[in-house]
Amino acid sequence: MNTDIQKDIYMAQCIGNVEPIEYMIPYPSMRSLIEGQNIKFSNQVMIKKPDITNIKFYGLVQQTANWLDSLGLKPKQRIIIPKLEFPQAEILLYGIWHFGAIAVLPGVESIDVIKSKSGAKFILDDKINLFDIIKKFSEKYIPKYKPLLDDEALLTFEKHYGIRLSHYNLLANANGIQKAIDLKSQTRIFCYLHPVSTAWVVFKAILPIYCGCIYDSLTPELTIGNKNNDYNLRFDLINIKNYSKKDIAICPENTAALSIGRKPLDLTEFNSDTNFIRLNGHSVTMGYLDNTQNKLNFKNGSLYVSI
């Protein structure tokens, strides 16, 4: 990627005079999130049915990292997330981050196309039980590489072309959602999403852990999904001017959440037109996998997303 494009991307990630490096995030990476939350909520149940505490979840994550290491994989490699049942996909996701690698969501692309475009590794079929695979591995893993905030954490193909997101993107977006909906620790939360989008990553895999919530499908106090929930995720950005206060605009180029109703997320700024949304802020993608897409969409100090 040439320096002019890098500059254009960085300018789009700024909001006013606030650069991404000027905003403090409590964790230096997604790897550190699960590690840090264990200090606060070690024995608190993180997931109800099956009951999994924070410390147990962290153990499963470390077992997964040891398994990835045993396969001969390397940190910074891209690894595809299959459609595993909850909470296997979430454990694999954090295992990849703990290992120091990059998670890839197939989205609408085939595995073969993704492997060709990104060099990602496909290591696990969605019919296989992750718990059975990792049970023989140690619950202690010493990372060989600890990602930094601006390192790539996630690559998603939910729009055919790959959208790259950093550790900072993910943490900043989750932080913005927490502030916007005033999500408190120990809130019982349920999210109707499957492992196919950045919305799943942020709302189901990250947000409950980031906020110290309890994931509860039986007696939730707060539900998030596509319709008839406390908060409904909407992908029809062309209609954003008609969103209610309980609608959350989803835009993977802005990591996941763009606004609550029509109000932009913290550290996010956008203007909508008939055919596109102009974006700035700390959740703006670190770029597309395709450099041609970068040249087309990053311009005039902003990111332009077709709607």
The mean pLDDT value of the chain amounts to 94
Cα distances from 302 to residues 16, 123, 282, 283, in angstroms, run 11, 37, 12, 12
Peptide bond into 50 cis (omega under 30): yes
pLDDT in tens, 56-103: 999 999 999 999 999 999 999 999 999 999 999 999 999 999 999 999
User: Is the full-model pTM beyond 0.85?
Assistant: yes
Average pLDDT estimate for 250-273:
96
Q: Residue 282's pLDDT is what?
A: 96
**For residue 1, what pLDDT band results from cuts at 50, 70 and 90?**
low
**For residue 209, what pLDDT band results from cuts at 50, 70 and 90?**
very high
Q: Where are the domains of the chain?
A: 25-224
Distance CA 252, CA 172 (A): 14
What 3-state class would DSSP assign to 260? Answer: strand
Instruction: Tell me the percentage of the chain whose pLDDT exceeds 90.
Output: 86
Give domain 25-224's CATH number out of 3.40.50.720, 3.40.50.12780, 3.40.50.150, 1.10.1060.10.
Answer: 3.40.50.12780
Q: Residues with Cβ < 8 Å from 17, sequence gap 6 or more? A: none
Using CA atoms in the order 16, 172, 211, 24, what is the torsion angle rounded to 10 degrees?
A: -70
